[in-house]
Structure 1
Amino acid sequence: MKKILIIDDEVNTALLLSKFLSRNGFEATTASNGSTGLELLKNNEFNLVLCDYRLEDTDGREILKVIKNQYPKTGVIIITGYSDIKMAVELIKMGAYDYITKPLYPDEILTTINKAIETHHALLEAAEQQVSGPVTVSKTSTKEKGGKQVLSSEFVTGSSRASKELVRQIELVAPTNYSVIIIGESGTGKESVAKSIHLNSPRRNEPFIAMDCGSLTKELAQSEFFGHEKGSFTGALYTKIGHFEMANGGTLFLDEVGNLSYDIQAALLRTVQERKVKRIGSTKEIDLDVRIIVATNENLQDAIQKGRFREDLYHRFNEFGIYMPPLRERGNDVILLAEHFLRIANEELGRNVTTFSADVVECFLNYRWQGNIRELKNVVRRATLLTEGDEIQLKALPLEMLAYSRASSFDTGTSDGYTAPRSNNEGATEPQQPKDDRPDLKNAALEAEYETIVKVLRQVNYNKTKAAEILRIDRKTLYNKMKAINLK
């Protein structure tokens, strides 16, 4: 269990934070002033410190200095009011992981804390190993040939050809200052690759700032990118530091960059070209030294042809391109990833689930994984929670995966659909194949009917009455058809 120290002289705030973190799997300790907090640090080992910038006996700057010098294994997040944001950014440059502004929001706190612990752990491993090449940080870190690894707590090195090529490209581009475009479907792990590039670059000790362009409105985008001065427009109640300025010296990761409006693209191009940024309402230009990594799940060249994306901006970003293969193209990596997520889920839930049944392995290998790695992680976490023994069975998988598994068994004419591989001294067996793979119009019709029924059931959250209405059949007919295609 990760240990967190909360240093805040507002007792109610510290108490609420402590209870919230305890409910979310952390061991939280509170201190009402700086001196008490430092005393606790002497006698206890903490993964992270949440420190209010303004304290009765000291401030966040002094606490950070002590922690960096005496307790380097402990990460720091600063809690601050809006008026102290500029100072908070300075503290990040001094070594704090991030800052959280008051009022505090649970989702923001949890996300920031988890990322801080993961990133700080990754940096510590890199420092301890004293390697300049890429490093993989996971629950079971596995070295590549020559001692090289890929560094990101969320990145799992696979054995497939696609995964090995991905690792090779990260190793090539990480030490450079190239801008990078990462292309891939949603959920393939684009941000984890961006972090791996950053953490293996000369900028590894500087900020890594991630920005989701898909969630930005046109009105907010400029303020988020470039920041603004207090009073610069209606509603600008405080000075805001933009993401470019926050990432200065480090890496700025722009996810789903294809969603940016054309106007914002123009402003972004100017900043990238001139390497200067100016907050809204300010006349002062700030010099930038930022590496930019962008990600997209769409073809930006098509967007250029349709007039939705600037070609000049695309070429600024596209100094190096990385393709993220979807999970269905990564073969047995699905099982490696599933085992990785199982270890994480066991730790989170206090379980001791050790393996997957043969049926589950087959289902994982054959399933389409439209949500990619993100979907696989959620499926494994859910299955771990539902499993009472030490082996995950088919019944612990989501309903749509069970339907897919049954349909696969129906299509192949088998009841189990999979025979588990034997040990090396017994030889290996392959999944059973259809006895007759000649074209069959009846089977083709059944397959099409199955796909249509499953699609509609998913749309209505498996409400059979609504599904029957959409399919223009009665419930009894729907039940009969589901039974005919072995879909229960």
Structure 2
Amino acid sequence: MTKNILIADDEKNMIWAIKRALKDENYSIFSAADGEEAVKQVKSKNLQLVLLDLRMPKMDGMEALKEIKKINADLPVIMITAHGTMESAVEAMKIGALDYISKPFDVDELKIQIRKAIDVGDMSRQIEFLTEELQNATGKIIIGDSHKMKEILEMVNRVSKSNATILITGESGTGKELIANAIHYSSDRSNKPYIKVNCGALPEGLLESELFGHEKGAFTGAIERKIGRFERADEGTIFLDEIGEISLAMQVKLLRVLQEKEIERVGGTETIKIDTRVIAATNKDLLEMVEKGEFREDLYYRLNVIPIELPPLRERKEDIVSLVDYFLDKYCKEIGRNKMEISKNALDYLIDYKWKGNIRELENIIERLVILNQKGKIEKTDLPKDILYQEQANTDFTLPTEGINLEEVEQSLIRQALESTDYNQSKAAKLLGITRHTLIYRMDKYKIDSNKE
């Protein structure tokens, strides 16, 4: 599809030069001689990028940028700067400009910057579409403007078009099922069956029958043929939640399904080919289970083709305000009352809280506050005691007057955590309040050996 670019510059030679540089690219190019005209064209045209000069008559580039961002906050804008206006370029990026080019510019560099800017705009629109589609399909929405959640949504957008097996990991309450929903409902299988199985909620004997089905007479109580969930999910998706709970015997059978793309019903002899996309999820450390012999290594790698790790809420605190606002709106609507407010003091306590139960815990607390609060505003005194008194458990570190080397302190703490846990990475990560994957990344960064010396 042809991309529409607006060049806003009062120098006709500059507009001509940029048009000439882009003549072989697949762009439709529009031009504006001042900021006011640029703003009008943003309102009237479907643009994918604006190149905006800082120095223009009627309305300069900075004011035009502010107006453009009011009209379309996601529209990428690259500032055109002259020598000596670098401070203004930095200020423009704080307002919302994506990048800047300096006069005179390098043609190849200009083309690269434009392609990158348009890709960013496309990705923003895809994420917005994906979020809306998920809400329409499931009645639920993924809330999160943090960098981590944007990266995850970008990953969801990329992998949903493939048929690869996906393993979603993260603590309880982080939203693993929502991510699985997003992958299915934005995939080419979205109009096909989507079957969910909680592997931890079913005993082993029943789980096999549920997954693969059974023939009449296969066991006591099997009075008729039962079609299993893998078979029901043919051409669609099966979501295996709490995959770390299945027995080693069941792991062998699941491995065969993933390898051969076929099943046999319990008590049957017929081999049934299936085309089912598998998404698995767990709050357990499967690699640690592999090391202990509790989970098959070959199955782990079959499941972990594309890993998606969801961060705990304490590592994405910038999303808490949006989540609180969403849940307040949701539960006020449910009980038919006007939307409640929350004081800044109370919100600060929620932001500082550790949230061991993650988003699920936050949602439960907001629901309780909405139901029990008779006022129109949630105050600090309305919060549960464990949130109010969290500060008593917090340790305050005082920065020495001579300062510290933060990297040396971090390395020392990592080594201490590893030594105190006999180099058990999962336990060491828990001591440090980070995920195991984050610990491994930092060990690699500081070249810390994973074994005892």
Q: TM-score range by the shorter chain?
A: 0.5 to 0.7
Conservation of the 8 A alpha-carbon contact between 1:230 and 1:237: yes
| SS of corresponding position for 1:144 | helix
Give CA-to-partner distance per residue, 1:243-284, whole Å, 9 cap, x none: 111211111111111111000000111112111112112222
1:149 matched to 2:134? The reply is no
Give CA-to-partner distance per residue, 1:45-91, whole Å, 9 cap, x none: xxxxxxxxxxxxxxxxxxxxxxxxxxxxxxxxxxxxxxxxxxxxxxx
| SS of corresponding position for 1:359 | helix
Paired residue type of 2:374 = E
Partner of 1:368: 354
Q: Distance in 1 between matches of 2:141 and 2:213?
A: 31
Partner of 2:174: 188
Q: Distance in 1 between matches of 2:182 and 2:203?
A: 29
Q: Distance in 2 between matches of 1:244 and 1:328?
A: 36
Q: Distance in 1 between matches of 2:381 and 2:395?
A: 20
Partner of 1:213: 199
- CA offset at residue 225 of structure 1? 1.0
- CA offset at residue 437 of structure 1? 6.3
- CA offset at residue 318 of structure 1? 1.4
1:395 matched to 2:381? The reply is yes
1:378 matched to 2:364? The reply is yes
1:295 matched to 2:276? The reply is no
Q: Distance in 2 between matches of 1:283 and 1:250?
A: 24
Conservation of the 8 A alpha-carbon contact between 1:351 and 1:384: no
Partner of 2:408: none
- CA offset at residue 186 of structure 1? 0.6
- CA offset at residue 230 of structure 1? 2.6
Divergent runs of 4+, >6 A: 436-439
Partner of 2:336: 350
Q: Distance in 2 between matches of 1:185 and 1:379?
A: 18
Give CA-to-partner distance per residue, 1:373-426, whole Å, 9 cap, x none: 110110110001012222122333323223326x38x988xxxxxxxxxxxxxx
- Number of aligned positions between the proteins: 273
Q: Within 5 A, what are the aligned runs for 1:75-474?
A: 144-145=124-125, 148-150=129-131, 151-153=133-135, 154-404=140-390, 407=392
Paired residue type of 1:217 = P
Q: Distance in 1 between matches of 2:216 and 2:386?
A: 51
Q: Distance in 2 between matches of 1:328 and 1:377?
A: 14
Paired residue type of 2:124 = E
- CA offset at residue 438 of structure 1? 6.7
Conservation of the 8 A alpha-carbon contact between 2:142 and 2:178: no
The verdict on how the C-alpha distance between 1:185 and 1:386 changes in structure 2, with shifts beyond 3 A counting, is: same
Q: Distance in 2 between matches of 1:309 and 1:197?
A: 25
Q: Distance in 2 between matches of 1:411 and 1:187?
A: 26
Paired residue type of 1:149 = L
| SS of corresponding position for 2:238 | strand
Q: Distance in 2 between matches of 1:398 and 1:227?
A: 46
- CA offset at residue 367 of structure 1? 0.3
Q: Distance in 2 between matches of 1:359 and 1:223?
A: 53
Paired residue type of 1:380 = I
| SS of corresponding position for 1:234 | coil
- CA offset at residue 339 of structure 1? 1.1
The CA RMSD measured in Å over matched residues stands at 2.2
Q: Distance in 2 between matches of 1:225 and 1:348?
A: 36
Partner of 1:88: none
Conservation of the 8 A alpha-carbon contact between 1:353 and 1:387: no
Q: Distance in 1 between matches of 2:231 and 2:384?
A: 43
Q: Distance in 2 between matches of 1:340 and 1:178?
A: 32
In structure 2, stretches of 5+ residues that fail to align are 1-122, 402-453
Who wins on radius of gyration, i.e. which is larger?
2
Paired residue type of 1:351 = R
Q: Distance in 2 between matches of 1:334 and 1:314?
A: 33
Paired residue type of 2:134 = S
Q: Distance in 2 between matches of 1:215 and 1:185?
A: 18
| SS of corresponding position for 1:388 | coil
| SS of corresponding position for 2:169 | strand
Q: Distance in 2 between matches of 1:177 and 1:191?
A: 18
TM-score by length of 2: 0.57
Conservation of the 8 A alpha-carbon contact between 2:130 and 2:186: no
Q: Distance in 2 between matches of 1:395 and 1:245?
A: 53
